[in-house]
């Protein structure tokens, strides 16, 4: 018997599992796959950008920064490294979008071309620079949480897919595909894209989650990219960053998709290559690697971290919407405090 069972071993499950174990709870994380972070967490673009997302996401992201700069968990090296984020737009860009990015500086297009010399001369009409953005070591953060969880006495089970659940007075009993059964008074649903599926097994009507596909691909560049900032289209239709000898790109797609293992969208990749080549001198022609992951949204776009309104002992920790890595520290603390009954602003 545990105090808490956490379903899902990605960044959500690992972070809240660690925070609960650090508060003296006996915790077991149940991961349905045979490895941790196989899906969304393992397919992140690995950046910290304070201006991403709606206001609540931005708040959690900014409040997570001190943790990421000076981690109180065991990590192998720095989690953050500087990587400015440059937003650019062409002749059709909405200049009002530039003013809406918190903490960023509006630039003259000529200065934008100086900061990012791979921009095509004359294409940029609107530019904004966020110098607080960083590269984020996703694997380092996730593994730090895993080590912290285990150091505090928590357990992790791989290949532990939940297939049935029963509630006896004050206790959940979860049946696993392996035939094992585990029990605890509280179940944390941190199952990402499968959140509503898991919630249904526990008798909940769900919270209206919508998984959406995000495609990422790597393409060889025709020009050097050393020193190139993380560069985003101001309208949110593509981004590109240097990743070794590849330009790591995304169409920033958000196409609804059933929970599972999505394939990259080839049409979106082709569109993105065309638009990036129009805006830059990168000269992308081929795709060396491509993958896709699911970003899961709640109806209001904010993360869900609360007890179910109707099902006793079910705590929802889902809907991170693709921002889960960069806001993980603050979100996990607030969720853990709420779960154990502490006051949370």
* 308 located within any domain: yes
Q: Are residues 166 and 292 in the same domain?
A: no
Which residues are CB-contacts of 124 (< 8 A; sequence separation ≥ 6)? 88, 89, 90, 109, 112, 113, 279
The owner of tokens 């966020």 is: 130
Q: What is the DSSP string of 67-125?
A: HHHS-SS--SS-SEEE--EEEEE-TT--HHHHHTSTT-EEE-HHHHHHH-TTBPTTT-S
* 344 located within any domain: no
* 345 located within any domain: no
What Rg do the C-alpha atoms of the chain give, in angstroms? 21
Helices (H), 157-203: 195-201
In this prediction the pTM is 0.92
* 51 located within any domain: yes
Q: Are residues 287 and 225 in the same domain?
A: yes
pLDDT tens-place values along the chain, 345 residues long: 999 999 999 999 999 999 999 999 999 999 989 888 775 554 566 789 988 888 999 999 999 999 999 999 999 999 999 999 999 999 999 888 877 787 789 999 999 999 999 999 999 999 999 999 999 999 999 999 999 999 999 999 999 999 999 999 999 999 999 999 999 999 999 999 999 999 999 999 999 999 999 999 999 999 999 889 999 999 999 999 999 889 999 999 999 999 988 999 999 999 999 999 999 999 999 999 999 999 999 999 999 999 999 999 999 999 999 899 999 999 999 999 999 986 555
Q: Are residues 97 and 240 in the same domain?
A: yes
Q: Are residues 150 and 195 in the same domain?
A: yes
Output the domain CATH number for residue 28: 3.50.50.60
Within 13 Å, how many C-alpha atoms sit on residue 246's CB side? 13
Q: Are residues 222 and 279 in the same domain?
A: yes
Q: Are residues 190 and 320 in the same domain?
A: yes
Residue 245 and residue 226 in contact, taking contact as beta carbons nearer than 8 Å: no
Give me the pLDDT at residue 47, please: 86
* 93 located within any domain: yes
Give whole-number Cα distances, 115 to 11, 38, 71, 224, 307, in Å: 33, 36, 31, 14, 47
Token pair, residue 298, equals 């709640």
C-alpha 83/C-alpha 225 separation (Å) is: 13
Q: Are residues 153 and 287 in the same domain?
A: no
Number of domains making up the chain = 2
Q: Are residues 128 and 276 in the same domain?
A: yes
DSSP-assigned beta bridge partners for residue 289: 218
Q: Are residues 223 and 314 in the same domain?
A: no
Q: Are residues 141 and 286 in the same domain?
A: no
As a 3-state breakdown, the chain gives helix, strand, coil percent values, each rounded to 5, of 25, 30, 45
C-alpha 154/C-alpha 40 separation (Å) is: 23
Q: Are residues 292 and 216 in the same domain?
A: yes
C-alpha 195/C-alpha 244 separation (Å) is: 35
C-alpha 122/C-alpha 39 separation (Å) is: 40
Q: Are residues 256 and 313 in the same domain?
A: no
**Of the candidates 87, 46, 88, the residue with the CA atom closest to the CA atom of residue 218:** 46
> Which residue range is the domain that position 50 belongs to?
4-76+137-209+298-339
Give me the pLDDT at residue 154, please: 97
C-alpha 160/C-alpha 31 separation (Å) is: 5
C-alpha 17/C-alpha 336 separation (Å) is: 8
Residue 6 and residue 17 in contact, taking contact as beta carbons nearer than 8 Å: yes
Output the domain CATH number for residue 104: 3.30.9.10
Within 13 Å, how many C-alpha atoms sit on residue 205's CB side? 2
Which residues are CB-contacts of 44 (< 8 A; sequence separation ≥ 6)? 136, 138, 293, 325
């Amino acid at each position: 018997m545990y105090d808490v069972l956490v379903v899902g071993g990605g960044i959500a499950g690992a972070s809240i599992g660690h925070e609960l174990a650090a508060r003296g709870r006996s915790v077991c994380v149940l991961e349905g796959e045979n490895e941790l972070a196989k899906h969304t967490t393992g397919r992140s673009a690995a950046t910290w950008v304070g201006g991403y997302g709606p206001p609540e996401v931005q708040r959690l992201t900014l409040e997570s920064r001190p943790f990421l700069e000076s981690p109180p968990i065991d990590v192998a090296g720095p989690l953050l490294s500087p990587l400015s984020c440059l937003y650019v737009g062409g002749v059709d860009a909405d200049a009002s979008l530039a003013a809406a990015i918190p903490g960023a500086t509006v630039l003259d297009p000529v200065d934008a071309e100086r900061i990012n010399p791979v921009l095509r001369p004359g294409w940029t009409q609107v530019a904004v620079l966020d110098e607080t953005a960083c590269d984020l070591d996703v694997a380092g953060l996730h593994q730090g949480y895993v080590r912290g969880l285990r150091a505090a006495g928590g357990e992790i089970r791989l290949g532990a897919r939940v297939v049935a659940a029963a509630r006896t007075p004050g206790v959940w009993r979860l049946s696993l595909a392996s035939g094992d059964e585990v029990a605890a008074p509280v179940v944390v649903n941190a199952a990402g894209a499968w959140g509503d599926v898991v919630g249904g097994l526990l008798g909940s009507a769900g919270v209206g989650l919508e998984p959406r596909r995000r495609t990422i691909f790597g393409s060889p560049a025709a020009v050097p990219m050393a020193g190139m900032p993380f560069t985003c289209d101001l309208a949110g239709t593509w981004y590109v960053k240097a990743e070794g000898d590849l330009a790591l790109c995304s169409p920033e797609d958000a196409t609804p998709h059933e929970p599972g293992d999505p394939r990259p969208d080839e049409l979106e990749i082709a569109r993105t290559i065309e638009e990036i080549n129009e805006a830059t001198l990168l000269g992308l022609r081929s795709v060396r690697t491509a993958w896709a992951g699911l970003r899961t949204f709640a109806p209001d776009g904010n993360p869900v971290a609360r007890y179910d309104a109707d099902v006793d002992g079910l705590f929802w920790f889902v809907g991170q919407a693709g921002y889960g890595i960069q806001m993980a520290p603050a979100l996990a603390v607030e969720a853990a405090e709420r779960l154990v009954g502490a006051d949370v602003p």
